[in-house]
Amino acid sequence: MHTFCVLDMSLSYPSRSAKLSLPLFIALSIIFPLLTIISVSLFHPDRPNQHHPTAPQGRIQKLKTLNVSLLGLGVSLATSTVIFTGVKNLTGKPRPNFLSICDPDLENTERHTVGGFGAEVSRLWVMVDVEVCRQIDKGALRDGFRSFPSGFATSELSQLPNLKENRDLRSHFGIID
């Protein structure tokens, strides 16, 4: 059960549209890395110190590199999505604009009070549950409690291990250790 205080100023920001749209997010986190992996794996010329005895073996090596890279990208994105979704649902931290999403019924806070020492100061200075919200859309209300961790940062950071573990792809950039 998620609780909050209707007088919490950190939850009182106005609602606004997303800064990063979903199509742009998909392009930056999936399509751009996918195209980069394909172009580097298939079209980047071999480094001079790499020796492929025959052209078919070189093409086979490039396809193996492409396969490993794409599998790594898929596994890293899938794993991070499952983990960050679980953490978001587990923590349930409200978004900064939660009160504008919730639209709390301030006249009936007593019925939804779950605790708080501030009741002597003000009847609104208490912790209330989500039943005080007049929001009809339960999906929007549920999404209002999914502030942490950032999905954008998680999806981008998930690709670092893929780059670190893939020596063939890194060797094209000359950053192999």
Average pLDDT for consecutive 10-residue bins of the chain (177 residues)? 86 82 84 87 66 70 85 85 83 88 90 81 86 90 81 68 60 56
- The 3-state secondary structure of the chain reads CCEEECCCHHHCCCCCCCCCCHHHHHHHHHHHHHHHHHHHHHHCCCCCCCCCCCHHHHHHHHHHHHHHHHHHHHHHHHHHHHHHHHHHHHHCCCCCCHHHHHCECHHHCHHHEEECHHHHCCCCCCEEEHHHECCCCHHHHHHCCCCCCCHHHHHHHCHHHHHHHCHHHHHHHCCCC
pLDDT attached to residue 99: 92
pLDDT attached to residue 174: 59
pLDDT attached to residue 170: 56
pLDDT attached to residue 50: 54
User: What's the domain range around 44?
Assistant: 3-173
How many independent structural domains does the chain possess?
Answer: 1
pLDDT attached to residue 105: 92
pLDDT attached to residue 168: 56
